Structure 1
Amino acid sequence: MNNWFKRNGIHLAIIGIFIVLCGIYFTPALQGKSLMQSDVLQAQAGQKEIMDFKAKDGKAPLWTNSMFGGMPAYQVWAQYPKNVITHVIAFLTTVLPNPIYLIFLFLLGGYLLFCVLRMNPWLAAAGAIAYTFSSYNFILIEAGHANQALAMAFFAPILAGILLTFRGKYLLGAAITALFLALEVRANHIQMTYYLFIALIILVGIELYHAIRAKSTSGFLKSVGFLAAAVIVAVGVNAGSLWTTYEYGQESIRGKSNLTSDKAEPQTGLDKEYAYQWSQGVGENITFLVPNAYGGSSGSQALDENSAVAKIVQEKGVPADQAASFAKQMPTYWGDKPFTSGPYYFGASICFLFILGLFIVKDRLKWWILGATILSLFLSFGKNLPVISDLFFNYFPLYNKFRAVESNLSIAGFLFPILAVLAVKEIAFHKLDPKQLQKKLLYSLYITGGILLLLIAIPGLFMSFRSANDDSFVQNQLVQVVGDKGFADSIMNALVKDRESLARTDAFRSLIFVLVAAGLLWAMLKQKLKPELTFILLAVAVLVDMWGVDRRYLNNANFTEKQSLEQLIPQREVDQLILRDPALDYRVLDLTSGSPFQDAKTSYYHKSLGGYHAAKLKRYQEVLDKQFSNSINEDVLDMLNTKYLITADNKGQRIQNRSTACGNAWFVKNVKFVKNADEEMTAISSFDPHNEAVVDEKFKSLIDDKKTAFAATDQIKLVSYQPDDLKYEYSAGHDVLAVFAEIWYDKGWNAYVDGEKLPHFRANYILRAAELPGGNHKLEFKFEPASYYTGETISLISSIILIAGLASAIWFSVKKKDEYTLKTA
């Protein structure tokens, strides 16, 4: 045991340093404070019904009616208890508070990768710090995109496992790959996993090329076989979540369109304009090196009383404090995105070392890093480079399911530090002529430093510092504030100067860190510094650089004392009045805060027609587009049992009690059959949902409309409510046709009359309906998705295989190491 600590003491010390860094950066989290994340707040509001039933029953329902009339709960929150990875993540989040566990995973995974790349531990630590403290990771955490950040945290250890496998450590490499790929998939951000997959395809292609050249294809094929097994195990471990997500995806806005009459509607996947909305500007890549080159975040409040804008306003007699406050509201970001939470900053010294790596690194990984980085850049440009983006969007499977294509830069942010650290290793343990290395070091400095000097001296040479939105900003905002077009133009000119100043200041800052990195490498090359000391100093320099930029976007001010959701989403008087209603399943449409379909706060207290989710059901979205975009269709509100509207005027918020709502379920007299979705949508544009059902002809065999009828005395009532188990009692003198104010989803809902399964069908485009036998009966709708239950069984089996594989890999590794120790003793 003592020998083990002696051999691994430096690794344990570095891991301890990582924990300390996390604790220092996120001190408020250790003090019991919580991070204010808008997306997390929205998610928790949407999960409220699920969590309430989980607390009551000990089991979370698989369906929720709290958002968009109803949707599968596993797209909001689900347990997956038979997936071993669920328990691993639960352990991590229990031991380390949010968001410390996320950053620690980045650091630990990065360190593992660089150790696998045979780096000195201190150089590996420097690489892990550079990879972790990239600004995008912290911006994601601040915004509440925890799943996306978690998925990215596993990039490095997945690559570590793959590299080990290709080196011939088949079992250990495959086991590590399976573990971290399973964690990656469980993070449930398929977009990030997809981007990593694209990059890894290039890596496998390069490995195949070298295997063919070296005539070692048998070893390559063996490695690929082990990795394929690792992928199968990782996918199997997550079978429940993957299967349900895939199944839901076909029915979501990322799936095929149901309508054919609207030519603008994509036939499959997302609308291209929507997917490309957040495209990286080609010039914006300068932020890799200079964080404020494009003004920082949209709401940066970077300008103060010394800004050109503040001084212009003060010249009009405005007090200094008011002028400073006015300046803080100015939009310093001038890129093409609708808005941004901050830049992609990879680190000035890392960018310098990346360029150096292009000159001096001989490892074949360089060509993979270069190719995958260039592709990620091109794809991030989206609408700004359609010739490549459209190729992927139109022809690559699943690519058109993802939005915000700028996220491709997560791959570049991952790969930049790898090549940078490989360059440092080459300088430290060089095989090249030192004079050649010195030349290439200077070339890299001239390129990086030259760009920075140009930005410092003449920032307007390559950049305009003007946004396409500036003209409308002047017209719509500044003129209204000051009432003087000439003065508004002078403020706009002052804002351009301030933007230039921000870029110049950060360019000077970046130049300092580039010179520090170059100086350290020069000193090491000249044998003035020992490699290990150089690595430590470089790690400190990288940390200071990245830390300073990250604190602009995520700092102590983002934390508050822990508050319950009741405090964050307080009950309004209108909420209290509605909650007095004893009915089980009425719905609410809140029109008081922007778009109700981009806000889940109403879902915290009510079953809402609105909500917040990136993948609504396609049919539901189509109804929103056709029946709610210009004016609200009251007939559709009725059929969805929308009993309350919350509105606002100059007198405050008020409730509209809608007595025409159809209720939970009702019998109809007539059926109108239509040929397709277009006719169905047209039919519900104006109809009487109380008496008529609109049904697609493909369900005609399930209806005998000549047998169905109902009398005034016939009735149906919801008697027991659980989101995934709805129980009704009804009484009817004849067979009846019932329509239910429940969202149609045929991937798991089953109907039972007195315990006997009964077919049901879709009506009114998005609702459920069924022909019920006459008499007094009990009807039950249960959500029983095979994708979840069968997937959970596969998860359990695969989890056992994963644990056995990891145990075997560790046992054989230890045994081999012990045998080696005995031989050399």
Structure 2
Amino acid sequence: MTLAVRPSWSLFLPGAALFAAIYGPVLFAPPGYAPATRDSDFYMYYFPMTEAAFEMLRGGHMPLWNPYIDSGLPFLASIELGILYPPNWLHLVLPAERAFCVLYVLHVLLAAGGTWFYARGRGRSPGAALFSAQAFAFAAPTILHHDMGMTSVVYSSAWFPLIFAIVDRCLRLRTAGSACVLAVVLACQFLAGFPMFSLLLAALIPAYLAVFGIDWRRPMCRANGGTILLFGTAAILALGLVAPQLLATWEYAENSQRGDLGYEQSTHCCFPAPNLMTLVVPEFFGNDQGCQYWGEAYLFDANAFCGTTTVFLALLAVMFWRNREVLFWSAVGAVILAFALGKYSWFYDLCYVLVPGVNRFRGVSRLVIFVVFGLAVLAGIGLDGLLAGNHLKGRRRLSWAVGVPAAGIAVWAGCLLAAGSNAPSAWQSVFEWVRGPGAELPLQIPAHLASRFLQISFVTLLKSLSVSGAALLGASLLIGGGVFTLRDQRWRVLGLVTLLAAELYWFDARHVVLMETEPWRLIARRIQSVLADDQGLYRVAAYGHTPPLPLNRFLYGRLQDVGGHENFVPYRYSLFLDFWLGIEPQWQTYLTVPNSNRIYDLLNVKYFVTFPENGTWGVRDELVREWAFQHQGRNHSLYRNGTALPRVSLIHAAHRAMDLKSAFHLLEPLREGGTVDIETVIEGDPGISLEPVSDAARRDEHVTVVEYSAQRIVVDAHCRGPGLLLYSENYFPGWEARVDGQEAPVLPANVFMRAVPVTAGDHRVEMSYRPAPYRIGCWLAAAALVIILLQFTRLCRRSYRIRVIRRSLPSEQQ
């Protein structure tokens, strides 16, 4: 179906105009502005975490440990941040806001360019390839995740098309060099930070090879063996390149509370079945602008719009050109969509029960991005089949079958809008059906506003219907023609590409916004200014108020917190919070620790924030600043906790537990009223005999933190008797201690803290974070990188020799 149509620059004008209109303001954003909606995950998680991580890198330290949230946890192992992702290294040279703007634009170009190269490699015409690129790069799932600032989703999905383009190239060339290129691209896609997509590719690439790369007429032939060896080598090299991230994240996952998820959690944010309507009516459920989204899940997880023209052309491909490529992408799209529907699909239920690992992921609705890519590929095939003039009668019938109703819907919706009609009872029935019992509804509508909201949603529906109907009518008129001349082909392709650009701009323009980041920094800066004179080690806490304070709010000022927003909470810290405060693990991803003097004492919370009318909780609490800052119209006061334990203290009494279960049993008296400042619960053998010391001796002892950084703590201790240095820091594999230069054990204390045994006398204790998985991963990555560099060096030398030989030949022999 390959068409010999020379590319015309006019075909690129609609896409270029769409790109400039949508992403021009992002690329040239003023300083201090970032590309995401306020109150999104971007400002609570991606932005402050990324800024803090690359600040460490600029200081010459790999960000292995994050001391700022949840009383300390692994940093690099948090895969969604993409710390090892090469494009993210722009953060080393650009301010965070500017780096995010540039990276978003670059990944849109990557998605569009990769789709173009894939389609052209499969034999699509320039117009069809351009249509596919435009449909995928500017589709609603990508734009809406961009709007929410979910960088890992946007970055990771942008690599899909290029990966399949390089897979096709490997099948054509079958060289070691092409396998190395594939390994590098696969590694980049994984490091972008959304492992669900990587696992999907791990299943799809073998299926793609089985359909397009294996000769099943001769299954045992040498060529098939070479194909398997080639792609197996690429996979092994890719695994080697990502080993530092993969092994660190694996260890983090195994030692965190987010292990296997229950069915309800796994299906949280699945794609609602009624929202398939958004394929052709994108604002059926609202748009979060003029009309708040009122359907199930959230708008960014529940909209699949990629242009009605795209869906129409994809339908043409499925109906009239059922070749192997069409069947593959149709089947892949159907299977992924069935999985993304989650609780609405028996297929997901089957996978949840039978497929290992499915119960470790949630947010399966994001897989719809891959469905959109399949639709974009099918639309390109449909457009080329249309230009070839095949199935003329069938196309005309389909065009009439779609165009006439589309025209009627557009006229009907326009007339109702002009007349200002009220919402009919049928619309109310649809509204109540979607929001029926058991629906996961983020938007709660007050009863006294229900009728007004119903009318607003109906007007939004009519506007969306009128635009979709007009677009389908235009596509029908362009598609329903006869066998085109070459000039007609160009004009009609230009018409379809322009129509798609207009549809996508109408939806996308309102969802690509810029927000000033300064308001998010304000809380931390106000607290910093109040505490400027306190240079000690401490944590600051604020319980969830009404209105709630943003999570990770203190991270903007590099203030350490006992709560925060992180997908994985260290396992022991999670169990401790559940035991001591009753905070169940499923609520700890968005963690705020309640106001409690005993827990604040143990966690080194020296300062806490609350409303002025709440006053203090402990007898030694005192007001530091009555109106420290204002958030959403409410004043917040800052208090000092006078009984907070220091970050590192010396303990001479300990209850020894044999395991974690017995540790909880022994911790019960401490929770009920024990003295957490003079006794603790440890697991394991400290190797010394602990003895109580007199009060006078205790007053003579001192512990001084002489150096504190994210991954290294140096303490000078003067001990009058054998004891334990108790660190109010999360215990986690990888922390090592040396006492006076000699290795010493790091023991779990009070379930989640760290303890280092010391004898009487003066000691210097150094504690550092050196996780073994990361170190092993670095060696594996270095080996894979050396192999790839040697291969590229070999190819460069070979290319150079060929050029030298060609230059030495007479011109008539070249």
Output the TM-score relative to the length of structure 1.
0.80
Tell me which of 192, 198, 206 is aligned to 1:193: 198
Counterpart contact for 2:80–2:152, Cα < 8 Å: no
1:586 correspondence with 2:577 = no
What pairs with 1:685-696 in structure 2 (closer than 5 Å)?
685-686=671-672, 687-696=674-683
Deviates more, 1:809-818 or 1:753-762: 809-818
1:28 correspondence with 2:25 = yes
1:354 correspondence with 2:314 = yes
What pairs with 1:620-635 in structure 2 (closer than 5 Å)?
620-629=573-582, 632-635=595-598
Tell me the CA shift for residue 721 of structure 1.
0.9
Aligned to 1:483: none
Tell me the CA shift for residue 413 of structure 1.
1.2
Aligned to 2:764: 778
Tell me the CA shift for residue 418 of structure 1.
0.5
User: Which AA in structure 2 matches 1:466?
Assistant: E
Counterpart contact for 2:29–2:514, Cα < 8 Å: no
User: Which AA in structure 1 matches 2:289?
Assistant: S
Counterpart contact for 2:5–2:126, Cα < 8 Å: no
Tell me which of 636, 642, 650 is aligned to 1:659: 642
User: Which AA in structure 2 matches 1:219?
Assistant: A
Alignment partner of 2:362: what SS? coil
Alignment partner of 1:285: what SS? helix
Aligned to 1:576: 529
> Structure 1 residues 31, 741: CA separation in 2 closer, same or farther (over 3 Å shift)?
same
Deviates more, 1:102-111 or 1:16-25: 16-25
Tell me the CA shift for residue 13 of structure 1.
9.5
Aligned to 1:323: none
User: Which AA in structure 1 matches 2:745?
Assistant: P
Aligned to 1:500: 458
Tell me the CA shift for residue 730 of structure 1.
0.7
Tell me the CA shift for residue 526 of structure 1.
4.8
User: Which AA in structure 1 matches 2:273?
Assistant: V
Q: How many residues align?
A: 750
Please give the per-residue CA displacement for 1:679-702, whole angstroms capped at 9, x wherever unaligned.
434525434321222234xx1x33
Counterpart contact for 2:688–2:759, Cα < 8 Å: no
> Structure 1 residues 88, 468: CA separation in 2 closer, same or farther (over 3 Å shift)?
closer
Q: Give distance in 1, aligned partners of 2:476 and 2:25.
A: 35
Tell me which of 301, 309, 312 is aligned to 2:290: 301
Aligned to 1:45: 48
User: Which AA in structure 2 matches 1:627?
Assistant: W
Please give the per-residue CA displacement for 1:224-266, whole angstroms capped at 9, x wherever unaligned.
32122112222222221222111211112333xxxxxxxxxxx
User: Which AA in structure 1 matches 2:488?
Assistant: K
1:280 correspondence with 2:271 = yes
Q: Give distance in 2, aligned partners of 1:450 and 1:217.
A: 58
What pairs with 1:87-236 in structure 2 (closer than 5 Å)?
97-167=102-172, 169-171=174-176, 173-207=178-212, 211-213=215-217, 218-236=222-240
Aligned to 1:749: 735
Q: Give distance in 1, aligned partners of 2:407 and 2:224.
A: 42
Identity, % of aligned pairs?
17
Aligned to 1:238: 242
Counterpart contact for 1:597–1:612, Cα < 8 Å: no
1:541 correspondence with 2:495 = no
Aligned to 1:466: 432
Q: Give distance in 1, aligned partners of 2:71 and 2:374.
A: 43
User: Which AA in structure 2 matches 1:212?
Assistant: W
Aligned to 1:636: 599
Tell me which of 702, 723, 728 is aligned to 1:736: 723
Tell me the CA shift for residue 626 of structure 1.
3.6
User: Which AA in structure 1 matches 2:24?
Assistant: T
> Structure 1 residues 434, 48: CA separation in 2 closer, same or farther (over 3 Å shift)?
closer
Please give the per-residue CA displacement for 1:99-119, whole angstroms capped at 9, x wherever unaligned.
321211111111111111111
> Structure 1 residues 567, 589: CA separation in 2 closer, same or farther (over 3 Å shift)?
closer
Deviates more, 1:801-810 or 1:233-242: 801-810
User: Which AA in structure 1 matches 2:324?
Assistant: R
User: Which AA in structure 2 matches 1:300?
Assistant: Q
User: Which AA in structure 2 matches 1:642?
Assistant: V
Aligned to 2:774: 788
Alignment partner of 2:680: what SS? strand
Counterpart contact for 2:66–2:710, Cα < 8 Å: yes
Tell me the CA shift for residue 156 of structure 1.
0.3
Q: Give distance in 1, aligned partners of 2:322 and 2:273.
A: 29
Tell me the CA shift for residue 339 of structure 1.
6.2
Deviates more, 1:680-689 or 1:464-473: 464-473
Tell me the CA shift for residue 541 of structure 1.
1.5
Aligned to 1:725: 712
Gap regions ≥5 residues in structure 2? 417-423, 584-593, 614-625, 627-634
Q: Give distance in 2, aligned partners of 1:143 and 1:70.
A: 26
Output the TM-score relative to the length of structure 2.
0.81
Counterpart contact for 2:721–2:759, Cα < 8 Å: yes
> Structure 1 residues 15, 544: CA separation in 2 closer, same or farther (over 3 Å shift)?
closer
Counterpart contact for 1:134–1:413, Cα < 8 Å: yes
> Structure 1 residues 465, 674: CA separation in 2 closer, same or farther (over 3 Å shift)?
same
Aligned to 1:308: none
Q: Give distance in 2, aligned partners of 1:48 and 1:474.
A: 29
Tell me which of 71, 75, 79 is aligned to 2:73: 71
Aligned to 2:555: 603
Q: Give distance in 1, aligned partners of 2:208 and 2:542.
A: 50
> Structure 1 residues 446, 172: CA separation in 2 closer, same or farther (over 3 Å shift)?
farther
User: Which AA in structure 1 matches 2:65?
Assistant: W
Aligned to 2:64: 62
Tell me the CA shift for residue 144 of structure 1.
0.9
Query: What is the aligned-residue RMSD (CA, Å)?
Result: 4.1
Alignment partner of 1:776: what SS? strand
Q: Give distance in 2, aligned partners of 1:48 and 1:800.
A: 31
> Structure 1 residues 463, 388: CA separation in 2 closer, same or farther (over 3 Å shift)?
farther
> Structure 1 residues 168, 338: CA separation in 2 closer, same or farther (over 3 Å shift)?
closer
What pairs with 1:329-368 in structure 2 (closer than 5 Å)?
331=292, 333-337=293-297, 340=300, 343-368=303-328
> Structure 1 residues 524, 252: CA separation in 2 closer, same or farther (over 3 Å shift)?
farther
Counterpart contact for 1:175–1:809, Cα < 8 Å: no
Please give the per-residue CA displacement for 1:439-494, whole angstroms capped at 9, x wherever unaligned.
56656768988999999999948971236768999998645xxxxxxxx3xx5345
Aligned to 1:669: 652
Please give the per-residue CA displacement for 1:577-596, whole angstroms capped at 9, x wherever unaligned.
3342121x211111265698
Please give the per-residue CA displacement for 1:545-585, whole angstroms capped at 9, x wherever unaligned.
1121111211xxx2256x6x5874355654433342121x2
Q: Give distance in 2, aligned partners of 1:503 and 1:252.
A: 44
Higher RCO (CA < 8 A, seq sep 6+): 1
Aligned to 2:514: 559
What pairs with 1:273-422 in structure 2 (closer than 5 Å)?
273-296=264-287, 299-302=288-291, 331=292, 333-337=293-297, 340=300, 343-385=303-345, 387-422=346-381
Please give the per-residue CA displacement for 1:652-702, whole angstroms capped at 9, x wherever unaligned.
322232222221122223322345434434525434321222234xx1x33
Q: Give distance in 1, aligned partners of 2:353 and 2:692.
A: 48
Q: Give distance in 2, aligned partners of 1:95 and 1:656.
A: 36
Deviates more, 1:467-476 or 1:398-407: 467-476
User: Which AA in structure 1 matches 2:284?
Assistant: A
Tell me the CA shift for residue 758 of structure 1.
0.8
Tell me the CA shift for residue 159 of structure 1.
1.1
Aligned to 2:476: 518
Counterpart contact for 1:18–1:107, Cα < 8 Å: no
Please give the per-residue CA displacement for 1:177-233, whole angstroms capped at 9, x wherever unaligned.
22321220121211222233343344344447x732465754333223212211222
> Structure 1 residues 570, 285: CA separation in 2 closer, same or farther (over 3 Å shift)?
same
Counterpart contact for 1:598–1:610, Cα < 8 Å: no
Counterpart contact for 1:291–1:506, Cα < 8 Å: yes
> Structure 1 residues 450, 282: CA separation in 2 closer, same or farther (over 3 Å shift)?
farther
Aligned to 1:530: 488
> Structure 1 residues 815, 615: CA separation in 2 closer, same or farther (over 3 Å shift)?
farther
Counterpart contact for 1:134–1:344, Cα < 8 Å: yes
Q: Give distance in 2, aligned partners of 1:101 and 1:474.
A: 32
